Structure 1
């Protein structure tokens, strides 16, 4: 059975509004004048006022205000004004379709946002379309007809859509044999609207099913639907990311350009809402929402996990802020992973990076070296000069070590007066050269307090993790370097010892 046959079995389609019929019949005539169309529109004073209001809005950015329908027709053209008029007439006709429990204002806010988005997307991607606004506005009115026909059944259908987490059109086809997009397209075709409107409406939830001349037009309405869902749904961050990826791959738009488009939709939709007697509520541009979210984060003194949770609670429509707040989270992670005294990476980050280097060598080959060193007789420094001076010595040694390493190396405070250096791609020879150079650097370093110079030495121990050692675990690597360090202490301190991973202390080398 055809879609039309299935629809006729299910419900009776409403007749088009009388003034819509007059407008459509007039524009079909080859010899229709602007004056005739203006007279039809002017016969409805409320429609005239709404038309002039939206014609003077930022949607069309006219250089001069228009004060009459005749002037609006001259500036905007017959097609644009016809479609704006139809948008108002159709929305007014169906405004009362909401049954109890159905949020009719939410439906029309989403529809108007989609209309504005369709108009903007068409311009953004270089496919201006006079029918874009009205197509976006009426694309989902089949939902109104289905829920009006049987509110209980459609409420159950919506509950099933949420429970199964599948598109509502999937559940509609299972229940009725058709979905609301097919119903909408059939209704608009019966009302006499052209294929430029009915085809994009029919396929805007399934753009992959369309090829050829309608493909770009359908895709514009599909993107408009996604843009509207960003502001009238949940999971905003994921939807914005998906939209950015799609518009970049399909139309070559940069991320800033897509963000500008997303913001423009909210700004212009809020202005157009008033023409449809709708309240904008809390709707605001995406970038403004991010700014406010970041401001809230700056005022919170919480961990990363608490920050995300707090923000989720504060903003119900922002369920996944991690993507949008990546830079803030990176800064917070940096604070969490730094040692408060020396500014070096802390023990937790050290452990993560040893895991990272082991995984890198296992996957790609190569090697990395681990060097650990401990201050000799540091307790005597603290006992004689006090802990604040001891802290200063630790800071100076940390700075000297950072200055001695490569940009790719990682210096961490392992704990107390013990430090560690991870050297990616450094083999045994490179480790020996670096360790000895670092030992001499620290040995020559002096911390001056009250005219007295404090000097300390360090004992160093290291090992090398190579592809041939990939079966060994992290604990073995750290333990080997640590044993080498204590071998240096046992041999008199202020020296370097390197142990191979699978060797014993006797197999090591000492300098």
Structure 2
């Protein structure tokens, strides 16, 4: 019989200094990483590293990995509930010109400023991410078709009306092009198809001259009550017939 004590790991045998430094720097505090409490210290490092793995290091927003997981969950919710959900992809116009003219550090300042403005425009239930380079994305649950363009226009105006100071004497005006697509209701689509549709609308917005919004009309994927019954219940199980659980989202619309 193995000795349980032989499975106990002495934290002094682990190389945790780098992990400790990363988590402490990200949190801005050493308080949650007390070395005099080994189990709490290790758990704090694990939790902190997990959180860091889901964030973009420059903006603090969700990264692409996290956003993909959110899209998967949202597709599942929309498939089951039939509620609306909107995906927006946002691109900073002429960002390369900012980098070429003022340098990459100025570009980083612009990205951080736009991130703060976008964060102020979304609800707690929305998920905002840095999608890559100068692109951002946001998924908005419970956003009805009639509100989609209104929401996107509000975001576009907020960024356009917020000049970014990149040095004590220089401000730059930043604009966004925004494309959006609604999830397919009652139909299990894929994250790739959803993002491709939103990307196509972003291309349309760029083609229309930039600093504008292009939102795809919400697809007509409604089903009848009879079709809904066939899709979502009743469900036969070894213990008898029962209903599939429904996922009714809680949250306000715009």
Instruction: State whether structure 2 residue 105 is matched by structure 1 residue 388.
Output: yes
Q: Is the 8 A contact 1:480 1:501 kept in 2?
A: no
Quote the residue 1:453 is aligned against: 171
Residue deviations 1:96-120 (CA, integer Å, cap 9, x gap): xxxxxxxxxxxxxxxxxxxxxxxxx
Q: Is the 8 A contact 1:432 1:498 kept in 2?
A: yes
Quote the residue 2:180 is aligned against: 462
Of 41, 48, 51 in structure 2, the residue corresponding to residue 331 of structure 1 is 48
Which ranges in structure 1 are unaligned for 5 or more consecutive residues? 1-157, 159-231, 235-281, 284-288, 303-320, 504-511
Check 1:297–1:425 CA distance in 2 against 1; reply closer, same or farther (3 A cut).
farther
* 1:339-354 correspondence runs (5 A): 339-354=56-71
Quote the residue 1:491 is aligned against: 208
Q: Is the 8 A contact 1:366 1:466 kept in 2?
A: no
With structure 1 as the length reference, what TM-score do the two structures score? 0.36
Quote the residue 2:156 is aligned against: 439
Instruction: State whether structure 2 residue 108 is matched by structure 1 residue 364.
Output: no
Of 375, 378, 389 in structure 1, the residue corresponding to residue 92 of structure 2 is 375
Max radius of gyration: which structure? 1
Using the TM superposition, give the Cα deviation of residue 430 of structure 1 relative to its aligned residue in structure 2, in angstroms: 2.6
Quote the residue 2:116 is aligned against: 399
Using the TM superposition, give the Cα deviation of residue 362 of structure 1 relative to its aligned residue in structure 2, in angstroms: 2.0
Q: Is the 8 A contact 2:164 2:174 kept in 1?
A: no
Using the TM superposition, give the Cα deviation of residue 483 of structure 1 relative to its aligned residue in structure 2, in angstroms: 0.7
Check 1:383–1:501 CA distance in 2 against 1; reply closer, same or farther (3 A cut).
same
Instruction: State whether structure 2 residue 136 is matched by structure 1 residue 419.
Output: yes
Using the TM superposition, give the Cα deviation of residue 466 of structure 1 relative to its aligned residue in structure 2, in angstroms: 4.2
Using the TM superposition, give the Cα deviation of residue 349 of structure 1 relative to its aligned residue in structure 2, in angstroms: 1.1
Check 1:329–1:438 CA distance in 2 against 1; reply closer, same or farther (3 A cut).
same
SS in 2 for 1:341: coil
Using the TM superposition, give the Cα deviation of residue 369 of structure 1 relative to its aligned residue in structure 2, in angstroms: 1.1
Output the aligned Cα RMSD: 3.0
With structure 2 as the length reference, what TM-score do the two structures score? 0.70
Of 172, 188, 196 in structure 2, the residue corresponding to residue 479 of structure 1 is 196
Q: Is the 8 A contact 1:375 1:417 kept in 2?
A: yes
With a CA cutoff of 8 Å and minimum separation of 6, indicate the structure with the bigger relative contact order. 2
Using the TM superposition, give the Cα deviation of residue 326 of structure 1 relative to its aligned residue in structure 2, in angstroms: 5.8
Greater share of residues in helix: 1
Check 1:491–1:363 CA distance in 2 against 1; reply closer, same or farther (3 A cut).
same
Mapped partners of 1:294, 1:407: distance in 2? 40
* 1:29-48 correspondence runs (5 A): none
Residue deviations 1:467-488 (CA, integer Å, cap 9, x gap): 23x2322211100111111101
Check 1:450–1:472 CA distance in 2 against 1; reply closer, same or farther (3 A cut).
same
Aligned residues: 200
Check 1:366–1:502 CA distance in 2 against 1; reply closer, same or farther (3 A cut).
closer
Structure 1 residue ranges (4+ consecutive) displaced by more than 6 angstroms after TM superposition: none
Using the TM superposition, give the Cα deviation of residue 425 of structure 1 relative to its aligned residue in structure 2, in angstroms: 1.6
Mapped partners of 1:480, 1:465: distance in 2? 10
* 1:117-156 correspondence runs (5 A): none
* 1:104-253 correspondence runs (5 A): none
Residue deviations 1:124-162 (CA, integer Å, cap 9, x gap): xxxxxxxxxxxxxxxxxxxxxxxxxxxxxxxxxx8xxxx
Which ranges in structure 2 are unaligned for 5 or more consecutive residues? 21-38, 221-254
Mapped partners of 1:425, 1:459: distance in 2? 23
